[in-house]
Amino acid sequence: MPIPCVYGLAVILSLVGGCLGYSSGAPSLACTSMNPQHGPSPQGTTSPYSISASAATYDTDDTITVTVTGTFKGILLQARRAGTTTIVGSWGTPPPGTRHLTCQNIGQSAITHSSSTDKTDLSFQWTAPSDGVGDIEFVATIVQVKAVFWTGVKSSSLSQLTTTTTTTTTTTTTVTPSPQTATTAPSTVSISTVNTTSLTPSTTAATPTTTVASTVTSSASATTTLAGGRNSAASVVKMFRLCSWLFVSVVAVFFEIVKWLD
């Protein structure tokens, strides 16, 4: 009879599907509720299993070792923001008998079993996300046998380390010096004329008496104001030339007087 055959086939397929679903790991639809979806209700007693972490605090990108203690056949393990269903971080290569599970469209965000063999005291590597998520906890559903399992098995909360960043701002002010100004007062050299009186022969003496009145007046005044070391050398050279010219002029006048006296 066709109808009983159809019903029988449906029952067989459901049983096979349930066995396959159990042995190959939790389905993705169990990610939020963490219920293994194979019939019985979770146990209401205290779980014989425990979850421990290798650290009580963590920082971004840290790797934490998570250990599930006890013997079990199936597992669904996640890291969540404490007190929420938000899954955070990612899991490293799982040990034999387990595999990654994609939850909330995030790859490698959960761990489940890949076979129905017994597993004892397994350790997993969890890596924190790069951005801050606050306190987290590890949550699991652990299956002892198909009809006996516990949900909401949790580790202690891990606090995220607070990183304080200090920014130092350095301000550099560049002062451009104003151009140096050099002011040189003009030098004035005055040389008076040489006044000589004519010789007046004496009427009573054999040797003439000569009266020479000569006045040589020279004045040189130079006022130099130097601003900046760059004009010092030029000012010294100018003064030296001025003094040399004055000396030569005086010597020339002196020799003219001597020639005239001769």
For 172, what's the count of Cα atoms within 13 Å in the CB-facing half-sphere? Answer: 2
Query: Bridge partners of 184?
Result: 224
Per-residue pLDDT of the chain (262 residues; tens, 9 = 90+): 444 444 444 443 343 334 334 578 989 999 999 987 767 889 999 999 999 999 999 999 999 999 999 999 999 999 999 999 999 999 999 999 999 999 999 999 999 999 999 999 999 999 999 998 999 999 999 999 989 999 999 999 999 997 545 455 566 666 666 555 444 444 444 444 444 334 344 443 334 433 333 333 333 333 444 345 556 677 778 888 888 888 888 888 888 888 878 6
For the chain, the first-to-last Cα distance in angstroms comes to 170
Residues in contact with 102: Cβ distance below 8 Å, sequence separation at least 6, in sequence order: 28, 108, 109, 110
Query: What percent of the chain lies above the pLDDT cut of 90?
Result: 47
| Domains delineated in the chain | 15-39+48-159 (2.60.40.4060)
The pTM for the full model equals 0.56
- CA-CA distance, 74 to 46, in Å (whole number)? 18
Residues in contact with 52: Cβ distance below 8 Å, sequence separation at least 6, in sequence order: 66, 67, 69, 155, 156
